[in-house]
Structure 1
Amino acid sequence: MREQIRRVGRLTGIVLANLALLVALLVVIEGLSSYAFFLKDLVPRLRESNFSHTEYDAEIGWVGLPNVNIEDMYGPGAHLRTNAKGFRNAEDFAAKRDSDKRRVVCSGDSVTFGEYVGNAQTFCNVLAELDPKLETINMGQVGYGVDQAYLYYRRDAEDLDVDVHILAFITHDFMRMQYDKFMGIPRPAMILEDGAAVVSNVPISEARYSMPTWLAETLNSADGLSTMKLATGIRKRLNLAPRKVPGAWDARGADEVQAVVARMFEDLRDYDSARSRATVLVYFPSVEELQQPTSELAYWLSFVESNARRLDIPFINFVSVFAELPAAEVTSLFVDGYHLSKEGNALVARELLERLRDDSRTASQLQ
């Protein structure tokens, strides 16, 4: 009887050992497959890095790299080209425009830049296709906050004939202004000094311009790996500090940023008006904000609307434009929930042109 019990015990032990080995094998396979997908995703990140077409700038953090030509950057036929000034245009522009043309400058972040679509498919370029009289310059840049778009335009469009200036943004562009880094890369921080909006932390050290966006994004995506989750669990049990995410340190308050942006909008209006340019503010939503509006969206949208009225600046609210569309259609207008697809850019261009023509403050500039 005892021998039989021993045999059953040994058999049970063998079964349990094999089950343990099987579970371990499955864990290894799951882990290897996770890392395989992780590494597979790393290759396009290296090629399609947001910063592969930018260069260091001591005043703004980064700007477009001149004369870039990356074929099929965002897919077959979706090329990325910049001109001699680093703008996302295939052609260069003389300081003076032709008398029969009207020039529109589009400034903003990666949505304006047209990440995930080719040069010809950005809403800024489509504007010129819809109205051949228009000459459009795309000064959008990946990762920019509203402050950087403002600074870039003020400096690099100074010598250009411009009739209409479109400053476009998303909610995150205001939130980026709360930090002095973006994805680990130093960025300018604007403050109020004697009532004026000024940059407080330039020149930015070139030596610190060292952590490209793809690396920060890769570190963040690595958090999904099982080993990273295990390490996080152990770290929590041992009460150790979490890995510091680039940009996640003490931030300025939103109210402080609001005061800076309000003064910045006022300065931009006066700057453009003195040069016979019309300023236009444009607010783009994300899919998530359309599906479930956030407190941040309400906070910043209300702020922009009130300041546009106060300063008599044309404001085009694409949050309300997109909200009126069927949910299924809205999804097709975005690539990743934030950036516009080819169809999204086309819709935005059509709506922009109609609004610019209907508003007397901009219509006169386009005649």
Structure 2
Amino acid sequence: MKPNNHPREQTGLLLTCLFLWELSIGVMAVAISMNGDRSWTLFITSQAGWVFLLALGIGGLTTAVIVRQYVTSRRVESSHFRLTVAMNLIMVLVVLLTGEVTVRLGTTTVRDGEEWRWRVLLPRNWEQVAAFYRQLLTSGEGRRLSYLTYDDVMGWTLGPNRKSANGLYYSSAEGIRAPGEGVSFAKTSAKTRIALVGDSFTFGDNVPYEESWGYLLEKALGPEFEVLNFGVSGYAVDQAYLRYEKDVRPWHPKLVIFGFISDDVERSMRLYHSAMTSREGWGEFPFAKPRFILRDGTLTRLNVPPLTPEALYSKKSIDELPALQYDRGYRPGDWQVSWMHRSYLARVILTLLPHRETVSLDISDEALLSVNAAILQTFVQLARSERSIPLVAYFPENNAELEGPPSPLPMGRQVLQKAGISYADPTSCVQSVPPAERFVQGGWHYSPQSNAQVARCLRNAVREALALSPH
């Protein structure tokens, strides 16, 4: 007689259906979580919605098979169904428990929650973020806090008469980068003054004053020129503009260089960048900032004045932060706790899979381009009205930009295209530096060699701008 394979086939079919049913339930739960706060109409027409519908269909089919097997087992009074279900549950529990224990053992506590394999698990924890910065402010141990201070216009600025903890940076009595302690730049000078505004690439992070491109530019132009470096680490395009408006204008420079990198246009869309990112380096900036929005073609400033660090991190919940909905880095789903977050394995899955949320027009890519372009145009107009020559300079921020035309075009260059203004581009000069020597070791700022090449390129741009100036 041939062996009866019917029970074995039935067991295999039932186990397969049970696994598929459980998997479809999990997929549907994850898909719903990925949807965020979007409407169901948008959800169903999205990729996650199609996955949800597929899982729903598989769940329906497997449910029909499982029910049929159950009814059959009841009719013949067989224990086959119960044993198969028990086997399935044991296998699933073993897999889930193994995964849960593995993740929990590999999780470490970080600034904004818990981290597993270099990824911060959702949801992020505001209480931990606030506690981290309160401790930083109390201890005063932050490297940046040794020379940066709160400012009610820009959010933060270079403090007067400061020395950085590592002894690399000094500021003058006026809050301008200086070669050493006790420096005060005279308000009037017989020299032709050039002012620099921008972020850390303009300030000259990770290099001493004598190796920054601002200092090297002054030497390259000759003794009749004086270059004042108003750059501030971490600045966005909007903050650089406000720094010019508030602090540079009273000096009446002959020429103003407005330097920025592509990342700065993204920063312009933020208000609480330090709290919203786990990126290395931003943990030393316990500050909020303002941002501009466009209303009827006019720039309108929000978050004025920005919260002081003490007020910012005394908030009990992230939802208490003013103008939070205008921060492009804020995603409500990153901070909201749900029942699924009780499982660390579920948290890993939800963290690795992107979740969608409604994007308002004020934080869209189009807004990023329009707002930053308007800021640059406003800077050019204001500088000219002050009888200063505006010179915008765009700095490539990594080797990917330097090794060839990137695709898509970096947002910073897209902003310049939209603004329709001419600008200095030292890319070709920096390209002359060997790739391994373009940036400081272990960092992302220009090396002394690259600073020297930037100064070489900008020297020519400055001389050309001065030659074309009618006054």
TM-score, structure 2 normalization: 0.54
Q: How does 1:128-167 map to 2 (within 5 A)?
A: 128-130=218-220, 131-167=222-258
Residue 256 (1) aligns with residue 353 (2): no
Q: Find the counterpart in structure 2 of residue 352 from structure 1.
A: 458
Aligned counterpart for 1:332 among listed residues 424, 434, 437:
437
SS where residue 177 of structure 2 aligns? coil
| Alignment partner, residue 319 of structure 1 | 427
SS at match of 2:401: helix
Contact map agreement 2:162 2:171 (CA 8 A) in 1: yes
Provide the secondary structure at the position in 2 that maps to 1:157.
helix
Question: How far off its partner does 1:254 sit?
Answer: 2.2
Structure 1 residues 174 and 352: CA distance shift in structure 2, 3 A: same
The aligned residue for residue 297 of structure 2 is 195
Compared CA separation, residues 365 and 132, structure 1 to 2 (3 A): farther
Q: Deviations over 1:152-209 (max 9, x none)?
A: 1111112112011001111110111222222223211111134222211111121345
| Local SS of the residue matching 1:190 | strand
**Number of equivalenced pairs:** 289
Map 1:176-215 → 2, pairs under 5 A: 176-184=267-275, 185-206=287-308, 207-210=310-313
Q: CA RMSD, aligned part only? A: 3.6
Counterpart of 2:159 (choices 50, 65, 78) is: 65
In structure 1, what is the equivalent of residue 32 of structure 2?
none
User: Following TM superposition, by how much is the alpha carbon of 1:141 offset from its aligned partner in structure 2, in angstroms?
Assistant: 0.8
Aligned to 1:290: 402
Classify 1:194/1:149 alpha carbon distance in 2 versus 1 (closer, same or farther; 3 Å): same
Q: Kindly provide the CA deviation profile for residues 121-164 of structure 1, in whole angstroms up to 9, marking residues without a partner as x.
A: 11111111222221111111111111101101111112112011
- Structure 1 residues 95 and 242: CA distance shift in structure 2, 3 A: same
Q: CA deviation at 1:320?
A: 4.4
- Specify which of 168, 183, 189 is matched with residue 259 of structure 2: 168
Match of 1:121 in 2: 211
Which stretch of structure 1 is more off in the superposition, 275-284 or 294-303?
294-303
Deviations along 1:14-47, whole A, 9 cap, x unmatched?
Answer: xxxxxxxxxxxxx99xxxxxxxxxxxxxxxxx86
438, 448, 461: which one aligns with 1:342: 448
Q: Secondary structure at the match of 1:192?
A: strand
Give SS of 2:160's match: coil
2:412 paired residue number: 300
Against the structure 1 CA distance between its residues 192 and 302, is the aligned structure 2 distance closer, same or farther, given a 3 Å change threshold? closer
**8 Å Cα contact 2:265/2:411 also seen in 1:** no
Structure 2: how far apart are the matches of 1:85 and 1:95?
10
1:331 positional shift? 2.6
Q: 1:305 and 1:95, CA in 2 relative to 1: closer, same or farther beyond 3 A? A: farther
User: SS at the partner of 1:116?
Assistant: coil
- 2:249 and 2:386 in contact (8 A); partners too: no
Identity of aligned residues (%): 26
Q: TM-score, normalised by structure 1?
A: 0.69
Contact 2:426–2:457 (Cα < 8 Å) also in 1: no
2:200 corresponds to which residue? 110
Q: Please state how far the C-alpha of 1:289 moved relative to its aligned partner.
A: 2.8
Task: Specify the structure having the higher radius of gyration (Cα).
Answer: 2
Please state how far the C-alpha of 1:280 moved relative to its aligned partner: 0.8
Unaligned runs of 5+ in 2: 1-104, 107-139, 276-286, 315-340, 353-357
Residues in 1 aligned to 2:269 and 2:155: alpha-carbon distance in whole angstroms: 15
Counterpart CA distance in 2 for 1:49 and 1:293 is 36
Matched, 1:277 2:388: yes
- Output the CA distance in 1 between the equivalents of 2:438 and 2:348: 44
Structure 2 partner of 1:363:
467
The whole-number CA distance in structure 2 between the counterparts of 1:346 and 1:238 is: 47
Cα 1:47–1:274, aligned 2, differ >3 Å: closer, same or farther? same
Secondary structure of 1:159's partner? helix
Q: Retained in 2: the 8 A contact 1:110–1:142?
A: yes
Tell whether the 8 Å contact from 1:331 to 1:337 is kept in structure 2 after alignment. no
